[in-house]
Protein backbone atom coordinates (compact mmCIF):
# COMPACT_ATOMS: atom_id res chain seq x y z
CA UNK A 1 0.00 0.00 0.00
CA UNK A 2 2.82 2.40 0.90
CA UNK A 3 4.52 1.43 -2.31
CA UNK A 4 1.47 2.27 -4.46
CA UNK A 5 1.03 5.61 -2.64
CA UNK A 6 4.66 6.46 -3.28
CA UNK A 7 4.30 5.46 -6.95
CA UNK A 8 1.11 7.54 -7.25
CA UNK A 9 2.81 10.53 -5.61
CA UNK A 10 5.82 10.15 -7.91
CA UNK A 11 3.50 9.94 -10.94
CA UNK A 12 1.60 13.06 -9.86
CA UNK A 13 4.87 14.96 -9.36
CA UNK A 14 6.06 13.83 -12.80
CA UNK A 15 2.78 14.95 -14.45
CA UNK A 16 2.89 18.29 -12.61
CA UNK A 17 6.50 18.85 -13.65
CA UNK A 18 5.69 18.02 -17.27
CA UNK A 19 2.67 20.33 -17.35
CA UNK A 20 4.39 23.24 -15.62
CA UNK A 21 7.38 22.86 -17.94
CA UNK A 22 5.08 23.55 -20.91
CA UNK A 23 4.40 27.05 -19.62
CA UNK A 24 8.07 28.01 -19.44
CA UNK A 25 9.74 30.16 -22.07
CA UNK A 26 9.23 33.51 -23.69
CA UNK A 27 5.94 33.92 -25.56
CA UNK A 28 5.73 36.61 -28.28
CA UNK A 29 3.85 37.27 -31.48
CA UNK A 30 5.96 36.63 -34.56
CA UNK A 31 7.78 39.75 -35.75
CA UNK A 32 8.14 40.71 -39.42
CA UNK A 33 11.58 40.21 -40.90
CA UNK A 34 12.83 43.67 -41.85
CA UNK A 35 14.78 42.46 -44.88
CA UNK A 36 12.00 40.25 -46.24
CA UNK A 37 8.82 42.15 -45.35
CA UNK A 38 9.56 45.87 -45.71
CA UNK A 39 9.79 48.19 -48.68
CA UNK A 40 10.93 51.69 -49.51
CA UNK A 41 9.31 54.30 -51.76
CA UNK A 42 11.13 56.82 -53.94
CA UNK A 43 9.56 59.13 -56.50
CA UNK A 44 11.39 58.62 -59.79
CA UNK A 45 9.28 61.03 -61.89
CA UNK A 46 6.46 63.50 -61.29
CA UNK A 47 4.63 65.37 -64.03
CA UNK A 48 2.03 68.08 -63.54
CA UNK A 49 -0.36 68.81 -66.40
CA UNK A 50 -3.22 71.24 -65.66
CA UNK A 51 -5.34 69.38 -63.10
CA UNK A 52 -3.37 66.10 -63.06
CA UNK A 53 -0.30 64.87 -61.23
CA UNK A 54 1.28 61.73 -62.71
CA UNK A 55 3.75 59.88 -60.48
CA UNK A 56 6.22 57.07 -61.12
CA UNK A 57 7.45 55.53 -57.88
CA UNK A 58 10.26 53.02 -57.33
CA UNK A 59 9.33 50.39 -54.74
CA UNK A 60 12.46 48.90 -53.22
CA UNK A 61 12.57 45.70 -51.19
CA UNK A 62 9.41 43.62 -50.74
CA UNK A 63 7.19 45.29 -53.35
CA UNK A 64 4.69 42.43 -52.99
CA UNK A 65 3.93 43.70 -49.45
CA UNK A 66 2.70 47.12 -50.67
CA UNK A 67 -1.04 47.00 -50.00
CA UNK A 68 -2.08 50.65 -50.23
CA UNK A 69 -0.47 53.78 -51.62
CA UNK A 70 -1.77 57.25 -50.77
CA UNK A 71 -0.96 60.57 -52.37
CA UNK A 72 -1.06 63.09 -49.53
CA UNK A 73 -1.16 66.72 -50.61
CA UNK A 74 -1.86 70.33 -49.66
CA UNK A 75 -2.21 73.61 -51.52
CA UNK A 76 0.70 76.02 -51.11
CA UNK A 77 -0.38 79.62 -50.62
CA UNK A 78 -1.24 82.31 -48.14
CA UNK A 79 -4.92 81.54 -47.58
CA UNK A 80 -6.69 79.73 -44.76
CA UNK A 81 -6.04 76.00 -44.79
CA UNK A 82 -3.08 76.36 -47.15
CA UNK A 83 0.48 75.43 -46.39
CA UNK A 84 3.69 77.30 -47.12
CA UNK A 85 6.91 76.04 -48.66
CA UNK A 86 9.00 76.52 -45.47
CA UNK A 87 6.32 75.23 -43.08
CA UNK A 88 6.05 71.64 -41.83
CA UNK A 89 4.12 69.46 -44.26
CA UNK A 90 0.55 68.91 -43.05
CA UNK A 91 -1.41 67.01 -45.70
CA UNK A 92 -4.88 68.49 -46.00
CA UNK A 93 -6.16 65.79 -48.35
CA UNK A 94 -5.25 62.31 -49.57
CA UNK A 95 -6.25 59.93 -52.33
CA UNK A 96 -5.88 56.22 -51.56
CA UNK A 97 -5.14 53.42 -54.02
CA UNK A 98 -5.36 49.78 -52.90
CA UNK A 99 -3.86 46.76 -54.53
CA UNK A 100 -7.21 45.55 -55.93
CA UNK A 101 -8.04 48.79 -57.76
CA UNK A 102 -7.33 49.39 -61.42
CA UNK A 103 -5.62 52.71 -60.63
CA UNK A 104 -3.01 50.83 -58.53
CA UNK A 105 -0.54 50.16 -61.36
CA UNK A 106 2.33 48.15 -59.85
CA UNK A 107 4.50 46.35 -62.40
CA UNK A 108 7.57 44.71 -60.90
CA UNK A 109 9.07 47.37 -58.64
CA UNK A 110 7.51 50.39 -60.37
CA UNK A 111 4.24 51.94 -59.22
CA UNK A 112 2.35 54.49 -61.33
CA UNK A 113 -0.32 56.70 -59.74
CA UNK A 114 -2.30 59.67 -60.97
CA UNK A 115 -4.26 62.39 -59.22
CA UNK A 116 -6.53 64.54 -61.41
CA UNK A 117 -8.40 66.79 -58.97
CA UNK A 118 -5.89 69.64 -58.71
CA UNK A 119 -6.73 73.28 -59.33
CA UNK A 120 -4.72 74.38 -62.38
CA UNK A 121 -3.61 77.77 -60.99
CA UNK A 122 -2.44 76.47 -57.59
CA UNK A 123 0.88 75.06 -56.41
CA UNK A 124 0.86 71.87 -54.30
CA UNK A 125 3.13 70.00 -51.91
CA UNK A 126 2.77 66.22 -51.89
CA UNK A 127 4.25 62.93 -50.79
CA UNK A 128 3.34 59.27 -51.20
CA UNK A 129 2.65 57.01 -48.22
CA UNK A 130 2.74 53.22 -48.51
CA UNK A 131 0.90 50.78 -46.23
CA UNK A 132 2.32 47.30 -45.75
CA UNK A 133 -0.06 44.33 -45.77
CA UNK A 134 1.45 43.35 -42.41
CA UNK A 135 -0.47 45.57 -39.98
CA UNK A 136 2.32 45.72 -37.38
CA UNK A 137 4.61 47.67 -39.70
CA UNK A 138 4.44 51.48 -39.89
CA UNK A 139 3.68 53.53 -43.00
CA UNK A 140 6.52 54.25 -45.42
CA UNK A 141 6.84 57.78 -46.85
CA UNK A 142 8.60 59.48 -49.72
CA UNK A 143 10.15 62.91 -49.39
CA UNK A 144 7.87 65.94 -49.78
CA UNK A 145 7.87 67.61 -53.22
CA UNK A 146 6.41 70.84 -54.60
CA UNK A 147 4.63 71.01 -57.94
CA UNK A 148 5.09 73.80 -60.43
CA UNK A 149 2.11 75.53 -61.98
pLDDT of residue 20: 64
Is the model more confident about 46 or about 81?
Answer: 46
In sequence order, what are the beta bridge partners of 57?
43, 111
Report CA 67 to chain centroid distance, whole Å: 8
Is the model more confident about 57 or about 103?
Answer: 57
Model pTM score? 0.76
Instruction: Count CB atoms within 10 A of the CB of residue 136.
Output: 10
Average pLDDT over residues 132-147: 93
In sequence order, what are the beta bridge partners of 60?
40
Is the model more confident about 1 or about 108?
Answer: 108
Q: Please answer whether residues 106 and 63 qualify as being in contact, where contact means their C-beta atoms are separated by less than 8 angstroms.
A: yes
At 4-20, the pLDDT tens digits run 777 777 777 777 766 66
| pLDDT band, very low/low/confident/very high, at 36 (cuts 50, 70, 90) | confident
| pLDDT band, very low/low/confident/very high, at 144 (cuts 50, 70, 90) | very high
| DSSP state, residue 63 | G
CATH 2.40.30.10 fits 36-146, yes or no: no
Query: Could you give the residue ranges of the DSSP H alpha helices within the chain?
Result: 2-21, 34-37
pLDDT of 103 higher than 70? yes
Locate the domains of the chain by residue range: 36-146
Is the model more confident about 33 or about 142?
Answer: 142
Amino acid sequence: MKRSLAALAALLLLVQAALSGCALGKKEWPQPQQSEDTFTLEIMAAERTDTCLLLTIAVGGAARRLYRASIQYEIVGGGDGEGCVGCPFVPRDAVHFTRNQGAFDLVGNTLKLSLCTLEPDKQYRFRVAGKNDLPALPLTYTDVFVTTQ
